[in-house]
Structure 1
Amino acid sequence: MIQQAGTSAAAKPRPQRGFTAFPLKVLAIAGMTCNHACYIYWDYLPPGILCALFALGGLTFPIMAFLLVEGYRHTSSVRRYGRRLLTFALVAQVPYGLFLAHEMNVLFTLFVCLCLLYAYDHMRRRGLFWLTFALVTALTAFCDWGILAPCMVLTLHVVKDHRQRVAYSALLPIATGGLPALMQLMELPTLQNLAFALYPLAGCSATIPLLWAYNGGRGRSMKWFFYAYYPAHIAVLGLAKGLLLGDWNIAVTG
């Protein structure tokens, strides 16, 4: 009996260290909610609260970009994956356009990035691919996280070493957004400028150790919840501001 118990215990798989995709998704949507709340309730939140929420908001897109690449690598159908992104992008554009901004929402950006990943793996003529990449990336200027997003996603896909691909991808928003924001903060040290600096410098930087801890596991799925949450939380935040505060103006976006 003692020998059997020992064998059974040895046969149990050891729990994987680090994070599965599920808690990373939770962190991403928590940061996204904080970020959108900042913009929608800009005139009603104390500057200190804006700083804290913006810092958390910086977690969102680097995680979303990382999970898009992981989803692309493991999906059974890129076509169905793309169809889901495009469908919810179209749905989300209504509350996004009413309450946040007139640009295209980030799900459109992720859809374009997914198409570019597929093109990278299937276009044999490298020159044609890079021309396509440059043109499509330029078009994302009309989308949330445009220009940067395709570069970050392709970096995550092309660089093989896990730690390097995470760091290089996150350094793009840190360098292009964080350093100019830091210079502006040094010239004019206000809490508003601090909030914009914390988004890339604190939030995006924090994603590096978080994504390094990813263990490759999927965790709980709840994919429909995460898709539906994007348009739903924007609608709730926007409608609450209108109904409770009588303010139906579109968000302040910087």
Structure 2
Amino acid sequence: MIQHASTTSPANAPQNRGLTAFPLKVLAIVGMTCNHACYIYWDYLPPEVLCVLFGFGGLTFPIMAFLLVEGYRHTSNVARYARRLLVFALVAQVPFGMFLSPGLNVLFTLLVCLGLLYAYDHMASRMRFWMVFVLVTALTVTCDWGILAPCMVMVLRVVADQRRRIAYSALLPIAANGLPALEQLLAVPLLQNLAFALYPLAGCTATIPLLWAYNGGRGRPMKWFFYAYYPAHIAVLGLAKGLLLGDWSIASV
């Protein structure tokens, strides 16, 4: 997800301390796989397993949003970056629509967020930009992580202090999803409700110190793998459920 303009940029310089983009991408991949496995196999997994998987799943999007903004900062070609997102979003929509949701997948959401980042830097009128932002953000309601994603990405772009922008961005899903999930858990104390609460309260919260540890380095490249893995793992999980369990239904939660 993260790109860099050249091999001599500071983001590619060797770093001795902290985390590069590579382990963050690995964590995002693990969390994404856990999260989608929960949804696809919801009816077949013990509640205890759902809690563990959803807890890891909460790592995914805050990391993806952060890496998108870092990628935008360092890319030498925004148009090429957008085309790559669009191509893989279209490819991923097939397994996503078959096995997870009738809405649009998260790569479309990230593509919209990339467009908003570009607009923020190139529109002369701030008032006009924020009007566009409100309209475009409202349109993402049909996308995975819609509404929240553009807000998180813009916080990561607008807030000057790195530690604050990471914390403020993660606090958005913690507040918007975590507090209602916690209220539901207190009202109906079931493990399934605990699983939904752990996603933002444990997973998203854990991304704050992880992203604070980011040292600006690229680390081992995995650009194409990161993009290709998204549609591939959904297809594998969905096909396995259909072939092994005879269940071809779309995720029901």
For the aligned pair, the TM-score class normalised by the smaller chain equals over 0.9
5+ long unaligned stretches in structure 1 = 1-12
The amino acid of 2:76's aligned partner reads S
Give 1:28-39 correspondences, 5 Å limit. 28-39=28-39
Matched residue SS, 1:144: coil
Partner of 1:9: none
CA RMSD of aligned residues (A): 1.0
Partner of 1:143: 143
The amino acid of 2:31's aligned partner reads G
Measure how far apart 1:16 and its partner are: 2.0
5+ long unaligned stretches in structure 2 = 1-12
Quote the Cα distance in structure 2 between the aligned partners of 1:143 and 1:14.
37
CA shift digits 1:133-163 (9 cap, x unpaired): 0000000000000000000000001111110
Quote the Cα distance in structure 1 between the aligned partners of 2:15 and 2:160.
25
Quote the Cα distance in structure 2 between the aligned partners of 1:117 and 1:226.
21
Quote the Cα distance in structure 2 between the aligned partners of 1:88 and 1:94.
10
CA shift digits 1:178-212 (9 cap, x unpaired): 01110110011000100000000000000000000
TM (norm. structure 2) is 0.94
Partner of 1:238: 238
Give 1:22-171 correspondences, 5 Å limit. 22-171=22-171
Measure how far apart 1:14 and its partner are: 8.0
Structure of higher CA gyration radius:
1
Matched residue SS, 1:214: coil
Quote the Cα distance in structure 2 between the aligned partners of 1:218 and 1:136.
30
Partner of 2:252: 252
Matched residue SS, 1:103: coil
Measure how far apart 1:252 and its partner are: 2.0
TM (norm. structure 1) is 0.94
Partner of 2:4: none
Q: Does the 8 Å contact 2:89/2:108 carry over to 1?
A: yes
Aligned length: 241
Partner of 1:176: 176
CA shift digits 1:45-101 (9 cap, x unpaired): 000000000000000000000000000000010000000001100000000000000
Q: Does the 8 Å contact 2:15/2:215 carry over to 1?
A: no
